[in-house]
């Protein structure tokens, strides 16, 4: 599918250049009305991420840095780090350790510049009653648990985020290919290409996609200035976003924010192609399972119990 786009893109270079020229011309005339107006105009005609050549992308990232630095009052670094060679990311979550503290949720919100109002969270921690036999299909979950202290007696917790499916139903249904799977297995969204039809949200079996129902707001002092074009740059009103395994970190060899935030070490992340990685050790030595396996979406997000059946209670 991506080859197809590239092929088509080549035949479209002239048209794209024409559009870019048009945009640049219009931008020049609009400059008097202010850079912001020109930037908005360029955005309106900006092409799909995969149709941008290196120069276009450089320009766009430079403009993005300028715009965000101005808006959030700090030096912003915008990048579009490509996938690494021989890398497919995988994730494993130890349900016997998770205490339901939601530190992963908050770390994710901050790292990924998610909107605080309206509230957008890419990780949802589900609480279940122990002995509940209806939890693997995720029925009878409680996402809004709010006790004084976690973990509560008789409860266990299942954090859910994008499962980075190998056969992602969300990608298939997108009418404009605004979402796709990168070579390292991460499913990304082009925030400037999504039309906001939300078909992907209807198709996702894991509730992993979040729509920006209103204009996102991020407090200046909490803004994370290290942004990736396909990841944690601020999103727009009227488009869909999702977990990208912290693409801005993972592609530079770092752990995701949720892995680092977890106080009990329940979250494991690494390169599935590296036989010596921790994730490979878990897959080879633990009894792992995936959510809704009957749908055969083939997630690269695994769950396992390293001990007993849950927290001591």
Contacts with another protein by CB under 8 A lie at 1, 5, 8, 12, 15, 44, 48, 118, 124, 126, 134, 137-141, 143, 160, 169, 172-178, 193-199, 201-207, 209-215, 236-240, 295
DSSP class of 122: S
Question: Is the separation of the CB atoms in 245 and 256 below 8 Å?
Answer: yes
Q: Shortest Cβ distance from residue 15 to another protein (Å)?
A: 7
Q: Shortest Cβ distance from residue 159 to another protein (Å)?
A: 11
- Altogether, the residues listed in the chain come to a count of 313
Nearest CB to another protein, comparing residues 3 and 284: 3
Nearest CB to another protein, comparing residues 83 and 169: 169
Q: Shortest Cβ distance from residue 205 to another protein (Å)?
A: 4
Nearest CB to another protein, comparing residues 53 and 274: 53
Residue 161: name the closest of 242, 74, 66 by CA: 242
Q: Shortest Cβ distance from residue 179 to another protein (Å)?
A: 10
Nearest CB to another protein, comparing residues 51 and 268: 51
Nearest CB to another protein, comparing residues 105 and 174: 174
Q: Shortest Cβ distance from residue 57 to another protein (Å)?
A: 17
Question: Is the separation of the CB atoms in 162 and 178 below 8 Å?
Answer: no
Q: Shortest Cβ distance from residue 74 to another protein (Å)?
A: 27
Residue 245: name the closest of 301, 303, 166, 174 by CA: 301
Alpha carbon distance 197, 209 (integer Å): 12
Nearest CB to another protein, comparing residues 27 and 126: 126
């Amino acid at each position: 599918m991506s080859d197809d786009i590239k092929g088509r893109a080549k035949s479209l270079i002239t048209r794209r250049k024409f559009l870019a020229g048009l945009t640049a011309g219009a931008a020049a005339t609009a400059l008097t009305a202010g850079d912001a107006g020109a930037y908005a105009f360029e955005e309106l005609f900006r092409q799909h991420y995969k149709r941008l050549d290196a120069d276009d992308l450089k320009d766009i990232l430079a403009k993005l840095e300028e715009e965000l630095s101005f808006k959030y009052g700090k030096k912003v670094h915008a990048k579009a780090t490509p996938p690494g060679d021989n890398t497919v990311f995988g994730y494993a979550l130890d349900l016997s350790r998770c205490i339901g503290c939601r530190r992963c949720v908050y770390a994710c919100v901050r790292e990924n510049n998610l909107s605080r109002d309206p509230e957008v969270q890419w990780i949802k921690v589900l609480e279940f009653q122990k002995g509940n036999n209806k939890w693997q299909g995720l029925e009878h979950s409680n996402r809004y648990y709010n006790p004084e202290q976690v973990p509560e007696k008789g409860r266990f917790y299942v954090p859910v985020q994008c499962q980075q499916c190998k056969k992602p139903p969300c990608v298939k249904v997108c009418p404009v290919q605004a979402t796709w799977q990168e070579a390292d297995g991460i499913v990304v969204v082009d925030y400037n290409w999504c039309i906001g039809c939300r078909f992907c949200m209807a198709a996702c079996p894991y509730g992993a996609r979040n729509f920006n129902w209103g204009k996102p707001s991020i407090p200046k002092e909490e803004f994370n200035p290290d942004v990736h074009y396909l990841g944690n740059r601020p999103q727009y009103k009227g488009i869909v976003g999702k977990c990208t395994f912290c693409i801005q970190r993972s592609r530079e060899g770092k752990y995701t924010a949720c892995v680092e935030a977890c106080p009990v070490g329940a979250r494991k992340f690494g390169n599935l192609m590296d036989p010596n990685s921790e994730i490979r050790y878990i897959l080879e030595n633990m009894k792992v399972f995936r959510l809704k396996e009957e749908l055969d979406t083939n997630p690269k997000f695994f769950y396992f119990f390293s001990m007993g059946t849950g927290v001591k209670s």
